[in-house]
């Protein structure tokens, strides 16, 4: 049973794209290199949930996601590594042709349970342990206290306290909560929200934070690009150009919007001269296989 991945695979890569001025430094923490399938922040959110499941004698992980969910993909792979069964509760009726994400998850042994969108919205009202007594339930996206605890380990791969800012994409806010809890107090944490109209996120993040004094942090809502999983030709072109300049691949849902939003904020003067910015690459590259613009 393997529950530890090699953090030495993670690389801190300095970047110098053409739009970054000389008086601002930036580097990308390449969590996408941690593992080919349990990629990026997903492992950090799953690790302690898996340990808790095994400690409680559970033989199954039950979790939730959509047809192209990075969390579903990573959970299937992690459970295969850990030797534990898993069930994915999937939003929407079963399609005639499964997405590549769901095909891969099924091939790794995940049971796929499709529910209507209405039932999915009400998933937290369902007694899943009555349906699956052997299951340990992990919230969608790994969004719980153990997920945030795991994300506190992300910065352990960075041995440079001189970063003035730490920035990451935000979906559920779990990763950001872990970063806030583990960053130095003089650092500023910025979360680039990829959802439209997600004013509730601040409350969600606060619920995962300890009460002691924390670094200054803020959510940035201006760069969602139309909403969750909305992909434009402008975003696709930015991702292509960024890869040509830095050799860093970005995903279309999270890190692409993070870096494109960071560029705009740099151009708008939101990062003062002398800033040294750490950008967290949260993985999710499997989602690029869709190549769908919506």
What is the per-residue pLDDT for 293?
34
Residues 21 and 161 in one domain: yes
Q: State which of 93, 111, 142 marks the end of a domain.
A: 142
Q: Which CATH number goes with the domain that contains 57?
A: 3.40.50.1100
Same-domain check for residues 14 and 57 = no
DSSP letter at 123?
Answer: G
Q: In what order do the strands lie in the sheet with 111-115?
A: 111-115, 85-91, 60-65, 135-137
Contact 159, 12 (CB under 8 A): no
**pLDDT value at residue 2:** 53
Q: Which two tokens stand for residue 85?
A: 């069964």
Pair 195, 209 in one domain: yes
Domain residue limits at 207: 7-37+145-290
Interatomic CA distance for residues 19 and 259, integer angstroms: 11
Residue 2 lies in a domain: no
Tokens of 103: 């095909």
User: Does 138 share its domain with 98?
Assistant: yes
Mark out the alpha helices in 56-144 (DSSP H runs). Answer: 70-82, 100-107, 117-121, 128-131
| Helix boundaries (H) for 207-291 | 233-246, 255-267
pTM, to two decimals: 0.94
C-alpha to C-alpha distance for 73 and 231, rounded to whole angstroms: 20
pLDDT by residue for the chain (294 residues), tens only, comes to 456 788 899 999 999 999 999 999 999 999 999 998 898 999 999 999 999 999 999 999 999 999 999 999 999 999 999 999 999 999 999 999 999 999 999 999 999 999 999 999 999 999 999 999 999 999 999 999 999 999 999 999 898 899 999 999 999 999 999 999 999 999 999 999 999 999 999 999 999 999 889 999 999 999 998 988 888 999 999 999 999 999 999 999 999 999 999 999 999 999 999 999 999 999 989 878 654 333
In a domain, 1, yes or no: no
- Give the count of beta carbons closer than 10 Å to the beta carbon of residue 137: 22
97, 21: one domain: no
Residues sharing a CB contact under 8 Å with residue 53, sequence separation 6 or more, in sequence order = 60, 61, 84, 136
């Amino acid at each position: 049973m393997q529950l530890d991945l090699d953090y030495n695979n993670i690389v801190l890569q300095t970047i110098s794209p053409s739009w970054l001025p000389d008086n601002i430094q930036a580097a990308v923490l390449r969590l996408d290199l941690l593992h080919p399938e349990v990629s990026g922040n997903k492992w950090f959110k799953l690790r302690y949930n898996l340990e808790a499941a095994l400690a409680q004698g559970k033989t199954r992980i039950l979790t939730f996601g959509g047809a192209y969910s990075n969390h579903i993909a990573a959970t299937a792979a992690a459970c295969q590594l850990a030797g534990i069964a898993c069930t994915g509760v999937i939003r929407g009726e079963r399609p005639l042709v499964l997405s590549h994400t769901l095909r891969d998850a099924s091939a790794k042994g995940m049971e796929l349970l499709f529910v209507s969108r209405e039932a999915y919205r009400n998933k937290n009202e369902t007694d899943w342990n009555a349906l699956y007594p052997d299951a340990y339930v992990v919230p969608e996206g790994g969004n719980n206290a153990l997920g945030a605890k795991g994300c506190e380990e992300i910065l352990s791969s960075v041995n440079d306290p001189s970063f003035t800012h730490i920035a990451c994409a935000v979906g559920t806010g779990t990763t950001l909560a872990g970063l806030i809890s583990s960053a130095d107090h003089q650092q500023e944490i910025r979360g680039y929200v990829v959802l439209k109209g997600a004013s509730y996120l601040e409350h969600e993040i606060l619920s995962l934070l300890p009460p002691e004094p924390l670094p200054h942090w803020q959510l940035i809502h201006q760069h969602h690009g139309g909403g969750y999983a909305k992909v434009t030709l402008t975003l696709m072109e930015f991702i292509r150009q960024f890869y040509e300049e830095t050799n860093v691949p970005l995903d279309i849902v999270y890190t692409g919007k993070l870096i494109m939003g960071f560029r705009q904020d740099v151009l708008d003067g939101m990062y003062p001269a002398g800033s040294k910015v750490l950008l967290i690459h949260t993985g999710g590259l499997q989602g690029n296989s869709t190549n769908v613009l919506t």
